[in-house]
A and B are shown apart, each in its own frame.
Chain A
Amino acid sequence: MDSGNTAWVLVSAALVLFMTPGLAFFYGGMVRSKNVLGMLMQNIFAMGLISTIWAIIGFSIAFGGDGPIIGNLDFAFMENVTSLDDNIPGFAFFAFQMMFAVITPALITGATADRLKFGSYVLLIGLWSIVVYAPAARWVFNANGWIFEMGALDFAGGAAIHINAGMAALAVVLVIGNRTGHGSEPMPPHNLPLTVLGTGILWFGWFGFNAGSALAADGVAAQALVNTQLGAATGMLGWLLVERIKTGHATVLGACSGAVAGLVAITPGAGFVGGVAPMIIGTVAGVACYFALFIKAKMNWDDSLDVIAVHLIGGIVGTLVLGFFADTAVNGEFNGLFFGGGIELLKDQFVAAVGIGVFSFVATYAIAFGIQRTIGLRVDLDAERVGLDQSEHAESAYAS
């Protein structure tokens, strides 16, 4: 075992964990003041529930055995995890992957803001982490997974995390329906400073997410860290540029959203691209995700905090452009179209995006529909009016 590598992966696990409270603030600032605790709670609660489920069964489904679709129970209750000891301890890998499992379902909460019943949320993400996330993580991150085997690249989870959570968000929105007053009552963000704070935490934690995915303290990790920074930076610039041209203002929320869009898009390629590629990827993502904002209005989907525009579209952009920009001089076995690798990788990236997307949508829709038909997904109208903080949690964020 290498102590330098181990140290970096352990620190990265902590960095990735910190992204979930970061996400809580990112989203919390954007909801109305009567729902901010409800939003913070859904995110922070994922740290409690998903960590536990991951230890009991999630990790084993994702990384046990050698099946291409689903793992086995070899690692249930953390049995045999030390058998994975190699360059780094098995438990370092286990911990690092645990934090990914925590944040992925939390990403969905932005789509269902202000109306999802807490008890139903618990059931939703608990089932989702076992039925949807663990298999998707296996396909992409485990050497036996069918997407990994096929040769598609996903360094830190553009498909397994962002496309996955984005399609899940769409599925849940279709089942739960729009917020009461959506389209007629104004629902602007109540505290953008919280959103800026959350963006900073997310950005900081993303270094662990991407550079930690090298699973070593080496040149690939350093390249991934630089790429992460440039993806976020140019994502912000790209978003603000089109926003300024279209609306006349460069907004604070736009800067935050563009940075996150860039971070999402650089995620799958963080350890596979170099040179100016991260800047191109970030810029394309910032512009594409900005224009993707208008999908929800056209379709009348109340994806309240734009999980589809930022995570689904950002994830698709990042996953597909890797088919052009992957460079074996940086890392890996496959060159993209622009580096003499031909169309093969792009095709594999496309199959990975569609495979994860379709699976996530169908499975999430089934889970959400099942909950809707049994205990219901959304709070009643009076509870929605008074806000989740009071109705679901018997607390208020801003005491008077």
Chain B
Amino acid sequence: MKLINAVIKPFKLDDVKDALKSNGVTGITVTEVRGFGRQGGHTETYRGAEYKIDFVPKVSVSIVIDDEQADAIVDVIASAARTDKIGDGKIWVTDVDRVVRIRTGEEGPDAV
């Protein structure tokens, strides 16, 4: 099994969720994160003092999925999250050794 992690623009979350749903993905976990990358940040000014805000709000999406589906789902996320503007984010895939559905105790592909 694989863990797909996608860091995307927050306003693209619904598009990504819909695309995943229509491709049969039934479970995702979402976290509000902040990203620091090529997009750069912005400047805020409080009483004349400038603060450089380097971190940009992002949403991180985690999905555990079967090996054979992983590549296709990565592409689904990539096309749903794309705006063609800098800061669209990254997707990476790591190995998952074991997965358990807590309620039933099922393991492996059944637990996904």
A interface residues (Cβ-Cβ under 8 A, vs B): 30, 186, 188-189, 243, 246-247, 249, 251, 253-254, 257, 290, 293-294, 297, 306, 309
Inter-chain CA distance A246–B45, complex, in Å, is 11
Residue A186 contacts which of B47, B48, B51 (CB distance < 8 angstroms)?
Answer: B51
Cβ of B44: which chain A residues have Cβ within 8 Å of it? 188
B interface residues (Cβ-Cβ under 8 A, vs A): 44-49, 51-52
Cβ of B48: which chain A residues have Cβ within 8 Å of it? 243, 246-247, 290, 293-294
* Closest B residue, CB atoms, query A189: B46
A257 and B45 contacting across the interface, CB-CB below 8 Å: no
B51 and A293 contacting across the interface, CB-CB below 8 Å: no
Inter-chain CA distance A180–B45, complex, in Å, is 21
Apart from A186-B51, A249-B45, A309-B47, what 20 extra A-B contacts exist at CB < 8 Å? A30-B46, A186-B52, A188-B44, A188-B51, A189-B46, A243-B48, A246-B48, A247-B45, A247-B48, A251-B46, A253-B46, A253-B47, A254-B47, A290-B48, A293-B47, A293-B48, A293-B49, A294-B48, A297-B49, A306-B47
Cβ of A247: which chain B residues have Cβ within 8 Å of it? 45, 48
Cβ of B45: which chain A residues have Cβ within 8 Å of it? 247, 249, 251
By secondary structure, the B interface counts as strand
Cβ of A253: which chain B residues have Cβ within 8 Å of it? 46-47
* Closest B residue, CB atoms, query A247: B45
Question: Shortest Cβ distance from A289 into chain B, in angstroms?
Answer: 10
Cβ of A306: which chain B residues have Cβ within 8 Å of it? 47
* Closest B residue, CB atoms, query A243: B48
Question: Shortest Cβ distance from B25 into chain A, in angstroms?
Answer: 29
Question: Shortest Cβ distance from A50 into chain B, in angstroms?
Answer: 28
Cβ of B51: which chain A residues have Cβ within 8 Å of it? 186, 188
* Closest B residue, CB atoms, query A246: B48
Inter-chain CA distance A246–B48, complex, in Å, is 9
Question: Shortest Cβ distance from A113 into chain B, in angstroms?
Answer: 13
Inter-chain CA distance A249–B51, complex, in Å, is 14
Inter-chain CA distance A293–B46, complex, in Å, is 10
Question: Shortest Cβ distance from B14 into chain A, in angstroms?
Answer: 26
Cβ of B52: which chain A residues have Cβ within 8 Å of it? 186
What are 13 inter-chain pairs, A to B, with CB distance below 8 A?
A: A30-B46, A186-B51, A188-B44, A188-B46, A189-B46, A243-B48, A247-B45, A249-B45, A251-B45, A290-B48, A297-B49, A306-B47, A309-B47
* Closest A residue, CB atoms, query B44: A188
Cβ of B46: which chain A residues have Cβ within 8 Å of it? 30, 188-189, 251, 253
Question: Shortest Cβ distance from A256 into chain B, in angstroms?
Answer: 10
Cβ of B49: which chain A residues have Cβ within 8 Å of it? 293, 297
Inter-chain CA distance A189–B44, complex, in Å, is 11
* Closest B residue, CB atoms, query A253: B46
Cβ of A293: which chain B residues have Cβ within 8 Å of it? 47-49
* Closest A residue, CB atoms, query B52: A186
Cβ of A294: which chain B residues have Cβ within 8 Å of it? 48
The 4 closest A-B pairs by CB, nearest first: A293-B48, A188-B51, A186-B51, A247-B45
Inter-chain CA distance A297–B45, complex, in Å, is 15
Inter-chain CA distance A297–B49, complex, in Å, is 9
Inter-chain CA distance A291–B95, complex, in Å, is 57
Question: Shortest Cβ distance from A254 into chain B, in angstroms?
Answer: 7
Inter-chain CA distance A253–B51, complex, in Å, is 14
Cβ of A290: which chain B residues have Cβ within 8 Å of it? 48
Question: Shortest Cβ distance from B102 into chain A, in angstroms?
Answer: 22
Inter-chain CA distance A188–B47, complex, in Å, is 10
Question: Shortest Cβ distance from B63 into chain A, in angstroms?
Answer: 25
Inter-chain CA distance A398–B1, complex, in Å, is 38
Question: Shortest Cβ distance from B77 into chain A, in angstroms?
Answer: 29
Cβ of B47: which chain A residues have Cβ within 8 Å of it? 253-254, 257, 293, 306, 309
Inter-chain CA distance A243–B47, complex, in Å, is 8
* Closest B residue, CB atoms, query A186: B51
Inter-chain CA distance A249–B52, complex, in Å, is 15
Inter-chain CA distance A247–B49, complex, in Å, is 10
Cβ of A246: which chain B residues have Cβ within 8 Å of it? 48
* Closest B residue, CB atoms, query A188: B51
